[in-house]
Amino acid sequence: MTTPGGNEALVRALLAVSRSMVALAVRNLAAMEADVTLPQYRTLVLLATAGPQRSAGLAKELDVAPSTLTRMCDRLERKLLVRRFHRDNDRRSTWLALTPAGRDLVGVVMRERQRELSALVQQAGLDASQECLDLLDRIVEASGELPDGLWWDRWEVSADPVDSVTLP
Which pLDDT tens digit goes with each residue over 49-83?
999 999 999 999 999 999 999 999 999 999 999 99
Total-model pTM: 0.84
> How far is Cα of residue 20 from the mean position of the Cα atoms in its chain?
16
Counting every residue written for the chain, the total comes to 168
Q: What is the pLDDT of residues 6-36, one digit of tens each?
A: 689 989 999 999 999 888 888 888 888 778 9
Q: Are 73 and 134 in contact (CB under 8 A)?
A: no
Q: SS3 for 136-163, per residue?
A: HHHHHHHCCCCCHHHHHHHHHCCCCCHH
* Domain annotation for the chain: domains and CATH numbers: 8-159 (1.10.10.10)
CA distance 108 to 137: 23
Rounding to the nearest 10 degrees, give the CA dihedral for residues 71, 74, 80, 86.
120
